[in-house]
Amino acid sequence: MDSLLWFLALLISFVTMEFMAWFSHKYIMHGFLWVLHKDHHRKNHKSWFERNDLFFIFYALVSFIFVIMWGEYNFWPGLPIGIGIFFYGLTYFFVHDIFIHQRFKLFRNANNRYARALRRAHKIHHKQLDKNGAKCFGMLWVPLKYYK
């Protein structure tokens, strides 16, 4: 398999996951599956885990299914797509759970324009405690107005 094509499949799957995160966050998490996402906006539980973490598990399963399709059915894009989804999930975990929400107390002093804009946009999103009226549903793509 051509390594450039393989890398492009991985890169496209990673970038597509930013759209999927935005779409599922806006229309699914703040829609019909709000029951799973609301504990992420309202901390009314004593557990470190949130029902919202089930979305992370869902995308891990999607990644795994693509790897299985590669291994069992010789679907060559399955491996780079699965790895691209996995890399996005890993990035999501580090950026969202560790950097923004400080579920682990790491990267507290990151202080560049992008980091400040990312935190600002996410803070705007979490100002809304109900499922309706929220803004900024993406994770890595930050609207320009939050850089100011």
For the chain, the domains span 3-110
Predicted local distance difference test score (pLDDT) of residue 130: 77
- Of 115, 82, 80, 83, give the one whose Cα is nearest residue 100: 115
pTM above 0.85, yes or no: yes
Rounded CA-CA distance 90/103 in Å is: 14
Q: What's the pLDDT tens digit per position in 122-148?
A: 888 888 777 888 888 888 888 889 888
Predicted local distance difference test score (pLDDT) of residue 98: 84
Rounded CA-CA distance 86/25 in Å is: 18
The secondary structure of residue 55, as a DSSP letter, is: H
Residue numbers of the chain with a pLDDT score lower than 50: none
Predicted local distance difference test score (pLDDT) of residue 65: 98
Mapped onto helix, strand or coil, the DSSP state of residue 32 is helix
Residue with tokens 């935005």: 22
- What are the angstrom distances between the C-alpha of 43 and each of 14, 38, 51, 60? 30, 9, 11, 24
Predicted local distance difference test score (pLDDT) of residue 1: 62
Q: Which two tokens stand for residue 140?
A: 């890595």
Predicted local distance difference test score (pLDDT) of residue 45: 63
